[in-house]
């Protein structure tokens, strides 16, 4: 059995092997990720990703939900923050920077009347503010370079900042109605 070396909690051998795979495979066209979402009633939905325990989405009681889980826009903020945190960790490892602590606070504003169909406009976030707190002995210059690299290369950040082509297909499910 081979011992796994973790740097700042990351299996760098596994990460390096995957990075090498993406660089050496001539027909590499990206990595596909997926999710399955099943409505549970009301605004509650079950989200299944890989073989992990399911996660859920709901709305706060003030928006008609049961407040049993974060709502989808909160999950976007969480996903963006987690993506940035992963980027800081990977970038720090690559630069030889030791992180003692990392915390991100994210806030965003959306226009709910647009979502409710009460007016025209953009229903998504108009702005997202991120505050990043890093505890490290690295120089301010090294941390700023890391910060800029992470913001430039974040997959979730890039998805939020740039238009994404969405292909949505409607398939009707018809259940038999008892007579």
Fold topology of 71-179 = GMP Synthetase; Chain A, domain 3 (3.30.300)
Q: Among residues of the chain, what percentage have pLDDT more than 90?
A: 78
pTM of this structure: 0.88
- The model's pLDDT over 38-96, given as tens digits with 9 standing for 90+, comes to 999 999 999 999 999 999 999 999 999 999 999 999 999 999 999 999 999 999 999 99
Binned at pLDDT 50, 70 and 90, residue 24 comes out as: confident
CA distances from 14 to 18, 55, 115, 175 (A): 6, 26, 42, 45
Give, in order, the Cα–Cα distances in Å from 148 to each of 47, 76, 130, 135.
32, 21, 13, 17
Query: Of how many residues is the chain composed?
Result: 179
């Amino acid at each position: 059995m081979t011992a796994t070396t973790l740097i700042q909690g990351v299996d760098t051998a596994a990460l390096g092997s995957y990075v090498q795979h993406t660089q050496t495979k001539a027909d590499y066209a990206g990595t596909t990720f997926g999710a399955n979402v099943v409505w549970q009633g009301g605004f509650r939905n079950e989200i299944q990703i890989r073989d992990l325990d399911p996660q859920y989405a709901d709305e706060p009681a003030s928006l008609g939900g049961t407040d049993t889980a974060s709502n989808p826009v909160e999950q976007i903020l969480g996903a963006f923050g987690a993506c940035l945190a992963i980027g800081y960790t990977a970038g720090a490892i690559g630069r030889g920077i030791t992180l003692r602590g990392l915390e991100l606070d994210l806030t965003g504003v959306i226009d709910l009347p647009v979502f409710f169909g009460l007016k025209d406009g953009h229903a998504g976030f108009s702005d997202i503010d991120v505050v990043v707190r890093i505890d490290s002995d690295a120089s301010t210059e090294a941390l700023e370079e890391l910060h800029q690299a992470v913001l430039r290369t974040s997959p979730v950040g890039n998805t939020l900042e740039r238009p994404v082509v969405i292909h949505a297909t409607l398939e009707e499910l018809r259940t038999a109605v008892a007579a």
